[in-house]
């Protein structure tokens, strides 16, 4: 073989090796990258966002839903007259003209101007035919009743990835159920950009969020909101809260607190307003706590309604402390019925001594004090009861009339509802049913948590509470013809180790009709200024709302 | 050997028929993508209109809105009640 022949052979072998190497590089080393590049040219991944579920009141009226909104953007390179367009947009978007002008002067192709604008604003902008201005569709949470039950609902914000996420209240607690799952579709396009029918597929199926139907009655919620707002203004309170519950099922019929926020514009409000104070705030309940202690002592067979108090003739001395009545009036041999009617602290100390620490703590635990109620709202808290070995005699004495012990309003309402429900304590429940996108309805059945007292004790305690309404401090506000069980409360606020006599938490808790309760309600006013007493501030609000509810339910007076 | 003329003719005709059928079919579905886009746009438009109408309805039917409109029109809340169980007077002034 001549050298020429060998040279040509080697040359071709070398070329072949080069080609094989190059092919190996494209088809093996960079195969994935190039494949993705090719796919990107004809594939399009389309995310179809799941629609967030709606929240409806018991009449199936939507109080939280997704709404179509728009992002206004501009292409500064297409905008011809910046000043004219800035002025026009400024008026419609409520943004300073100079701010828009600065945005339109940027050397970019796409500038977002304002997000989440309403369709009416979009139509107005559209009608101006502004060159370079466009819209991108968005969704935003919409609350038709504005601030109504805002603390109960919570709001929808963004998570760390910029996706919608529910915070606080129902939006937070039921976020996974409400949010559903986004769908992802792959669409293959032809050269002209049209989708090829046979090449479209859903790689992930979209699942819309589930709807929640609440136990909340929109009518009662509205009445409670109105009366509470009015009451806070009338009595000069710093804040106020109230809730109405069905004692037989635990269904929350209404829950309000003021000041509150607009969940659609939560960013404009202080973060302190987001949490629901009815389930997060702890306070000393004062005399509204007395029925729980009295019912416990009666259930244990230690006292009866006609048992005489042998320690009620004057202030009671416990160690270095002297316990007085709220008005410094004393009634020797007061009956247990009258201890509640007069809201007598010394009488309650007498009951506490009969009950003893062990039994009292056991009963309190059965009433749910010191534990969360399990309500389906995000952020519920519950201060713990001290361990039994950390109680001093003065703690036991003051706890009997609701001082030195802290609860959340929800705990107290649930405990009192046990008295209204023949001794059975139900789990408070805001949501009644969950509706799936395919039309299924999943009911959430009422749940009995405990039975702290017997039905007989509950009935006796109910009658004592009716007497407290008819003959106690709040008798001037009672609804004539109706048997309403209730108890006032005026708790002093502990400030820097002592109680400030001028700052109180005024409250009233009760239920009606006493013989067959349809609702139990707790009204709390924080630091009312017109009067410090619950009987003169919270009680009138309670009776006003109670009257509305009784009329709404069509319950006639029994006299 | 005799050529299978009939078979060849049959196969040739079949090829032509299938070719024509294919061309016709491809031709008829080639614009389906465009129609699909049109239909999707229509669905999207109707959905949007539906959503906007729903929002309008909810705003109008909310207690907050009804209550403020009623106040503007001068309506007041009446809390009195008539008890039909109570005996009615025989005569009233």
Digit-coded pLDDT (tens) for A417-437? 999 999 999 999 999 999 999
- Which residues in chain A are contacts of B55 at CB distance < 8 A? 67-68, 119, 142, 144
| Residue B20 counted as domain residue | no
Q: List the domain range (segments joined by +) for residue A427.
A: 218-261+277-553
Establish how many alpha carbons lie within 13 A of residue A15's alpha carbon, considering only the half-sphere containing its beta carbon. Answer: 6
Establish how many alpha carbons lie within 13 A of residue A468's alpha carbon, considering only the half-sphere containing its beta carbon. Answer: 32
Low-confidence ranges of chain A (pLDDT < 50): none
Name the domain boundary from A128, A143, A158.
Answer: A143
| Residue B16 counted as domain residue | no
Task: Inform me whether the C-beta atom of residue B79 falls under 8 Å from chain A C-beta atoms.
Answer: yes
| Residue A203 counted as domain residue | no
Among A481, A518, A483, CA closest to B85 = A481
Please give the tally of structural domains in chain A. Answer: 2
| Residue B44 counted as domain residue | yes
Angle between helix axes A290-299 and A409-420 (nearest 10 degrees) is 40
- Which residues in chain B are contacts of A196 at CB distance < 8 A? 33
SS (H, E, C) A99-155: HHHHHHCCCCCCEEEEEEECHHHHHHHHHCCCCCEEEEEEEEEECCCCCCCHHHHCE
Pairing of strands A133-142, A155-158: unpaired
CATH number, domain of A257, equals 3.40.710.10
Among the partner residues A61, A119, A557, nearest to B83 by beta-carbon distance:
A557
Q: CB distance A68–B48 less than 8 Å?
A: yes
| Residue A485 counted as domain residue | yes
Q: What is the pLDDT of residue B26?
A: 87
Name the domain boundary from A92, A114, A143.
Answer: A143
Task: Say how many residues make up chain A.
Answer: 559
Q: List the domain range (segments joined by +) for residue B42.
A: 30-57
Pairing of strands A55-56, A62-74: antiparallel
Establish how many alpha carbons lie within 13 A of residue B43's alpha carbon, considering only the half-sphere containing its beta carbon. Answer: 6
Residues A105 and A237 in one domain: no
Q: What is the pLDDT of residue A256?
A: 96
| Residue B73 counted as domain residue | no
Q: CB distance B37–A194 less than 8 Å?
A: yes
Residue A478 DSSP code: S
- Given a contact cutoff of 8 angstroms between Cβ atoms, the answer to whether A221 and A242 are in contact is no
| Residue B47 counted as domain residue | yes
CATH number, domain of A128, equals 3.90.1310.10
Q: What is the pLDDT of residue A311?
A: 87
Task: Inform me whether the C-beta atom of residue A556 falls under 8 Å from chain B C-beta atoms.
Answer: yes
Among the partner residues A67, A68, A145, nearest to B63 by beta-carbon distance:
A145
Residues A119 and A225 in one domain: no
| Residue A51 counted as domain residue | no
Please give the tally of structural domains in chain B. Answer: 1
Q: CB distance A67–B79 less than 8 Å?
A: no
Contacts of A166 (CB under 8 A, 6+ apart): A154, A155, A156, A157, A172, A173, A174, A175, A178, A179
Phi, psi for A139 (deg, rounded to 5): -120, 150
Give the three-class secondary structure for A49.
Answer: coil
| Residue B52 counted as domain residue | yes
- Given a contact cutoff of 8 angstroms between Cβ atoms, the answer to whether A120 and B59 are in contact is no
Interface predicted TM-score (ipTM) of this complex, two decimals: 0.77
| Residue A133 counted as domain residue | yes
| Residue A333 counted as domain residue | yes
Pairing of strands A111-117, A62-74: antiparallel
| Cross-strand pairs, A489 | A507
How many A/B residue pairs have CB atoms within 8 Å?
Answer: 57
Return residues 202-261 of A near B (CB < 8 Å). 218-219, 222, 226
pLDDT in tens, B5-43: 899 999 999 999 999 999 999 888 878 878 888 898 999
Task: Inform me whether the C-beta atom of residue B48 falls under 8 Å from chain A C-beta atoms.
Answer: yes
Burial of A338 (0-12, 13-18, 19+ CB in 10 A): buried
| Residue A116 counted as domain residue | yes
**Start-end of H helices in A256-316:** 277-280, 290-299
Residues A117 and A224 in one domain: no
| B78 pLDDT higher than 80 | no
Q: What is the pTM of this model?
A: 0.84
Q: What is the pLDDT of residue B93?
A: 62
- Given a contact cutoff of 8 angstroms between Cβ atoms, the answer to whether A156 and A134 are in contact is no
Task: Inform me whether the C-beta atom of residue B43 falls under 8 Å from chain A C-beta atoms.
Answer: no
Q: Which candidate in B33, B49, B84 is best for mutational testing of the A interface (most A CBs within 10 A)?
A: B33
Contacts of A254 (CB under 8 A, 6+ apart): A149, A216, A217, A220, A221, A223, A224, A225, A242, A243, A244
């Amino acid at each position: 073989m001549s050298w020429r022949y060998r040279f040509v052979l080697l040359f071709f072998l070398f070329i072949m090796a080069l080609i094989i190497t190059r092919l190996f590089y494209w088809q093996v080393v960079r195969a994935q990258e190039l494949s993705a590049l090719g796919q990107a040219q004809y594939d399009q991944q389309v995310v179809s966002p799941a629609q967030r579920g709606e929240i409806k009141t018991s009449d199936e009226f939507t109080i939280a839903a997704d709404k179509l909104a728009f992002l206004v953007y501009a292409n500064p390179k297409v905008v011809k007259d910046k000043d004219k367009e800035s002025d026009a947009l400024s008026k419609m978007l409520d943004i300073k003209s100079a701010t828009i002008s600065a945005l339109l002067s940027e050397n970019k192709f796409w500038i977002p101007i304002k997000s989440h604008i309403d369709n009416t604003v979009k139509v107005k902008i559209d009608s101006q035919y502004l060159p370079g201005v466009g819209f991108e569709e968005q969704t935003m949470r919409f609350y038709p009743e504005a601030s109504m039950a805002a603390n109960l609902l919570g709001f929808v914000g963004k998570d760390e990835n910029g996706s919608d996420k529910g915070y606080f209240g129902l939006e937070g607690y039921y976020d996974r159920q409400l949010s559903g799952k986004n769908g992802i579709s792959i669409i293959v396009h032809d050269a002209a950009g049209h989708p090829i029918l046979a090449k479209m597929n859903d790689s992930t199926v979209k699942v819309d969020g589930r709807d929640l139907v609440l136990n909340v009655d929109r009518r009662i919620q509205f009445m409670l909101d109105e009366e509470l707002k009015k009451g806070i203004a009338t009595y000069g309170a710093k804040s106020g809260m109230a809730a109405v519950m069905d004692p037989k099922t635990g269904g929350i019929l209404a829950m309000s607190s003021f000041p509150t926020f607009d969940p659609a514009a939560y960013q404009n409000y202080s973060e302190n307003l987001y949490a629901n104070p009815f389930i997060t705030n702890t306070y000393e309940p004062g005399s509204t706590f007395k029925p729980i202690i009295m019912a416990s002592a009666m259930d244990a067979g230690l006292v009866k309604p006609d048992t005489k108090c042998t320690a009620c003739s004057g202030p009671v001395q416990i160690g270095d402390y002297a316990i007085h009545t709220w008005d410094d009036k004393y009634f020797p041999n007061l009956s247990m019925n009258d201890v509640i009617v007069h809201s007598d602290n010394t009488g309650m100390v007498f009951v506490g001594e009969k009950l003893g620490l062990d039994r009292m703590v056991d009963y309190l635990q059965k009433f749910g004090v010191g534990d969360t109620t399990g309500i389906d709202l995000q952020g519920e808290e519950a201060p713990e009861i001290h361990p039994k070995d950390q109680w001093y005699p003065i703690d036991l004495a003051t706890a009997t009339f609701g001082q030195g012990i802290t609860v959340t309003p929800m705990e107290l309402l649930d405990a009192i509802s046990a008295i209204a429900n023949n001794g059975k304590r139900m789990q408070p429940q805001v949501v009644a049913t969950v509706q799936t996108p395919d039309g299924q309805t999943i009911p959430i059945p009422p749940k009995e948590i405990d039975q702290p007292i017997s039905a007989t004790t509950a009935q006796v305690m109910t009658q004592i509470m009716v007497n407290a309404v008819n003959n106690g401090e709040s008798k001037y506000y009672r609804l004539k013809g109706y048997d309403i069980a209730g108890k006032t409360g005026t708790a002093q606020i502990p400030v820097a180790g002592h109680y400030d006599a001028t700052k109180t938490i005024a409250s009233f808790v009760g239920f009606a009709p006493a013989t067959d309760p349809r609702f139990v309600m707790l009204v709390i006013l924080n630091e009312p200024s017109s009067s410090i007493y619950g009987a003169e501030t919270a009680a009138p609000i309670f009776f006003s709302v109670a009257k509305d509810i009784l009329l709404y339910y069509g319950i006639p007076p029994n006299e | 050997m005799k050529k299978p003329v009939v078979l060849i003719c049959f196969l040739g005709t079949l090829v032509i028929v299938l070719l024509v059928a294919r061309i016709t079919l491809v031709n008829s579905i080639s614009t389906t993508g465009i129609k699909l886009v049109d239909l999707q746009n229509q669905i999207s438009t109707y959905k949007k209109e539906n959503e906007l109408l729903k929002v309008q309805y909810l705003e109008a039917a909310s207690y907050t809105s009804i209550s403020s409109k009623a106040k503007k029109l001068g309506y007041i809340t009446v809390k009195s009640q008539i008890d039909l169980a109570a005996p009615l007077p025989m005569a009233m002034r």
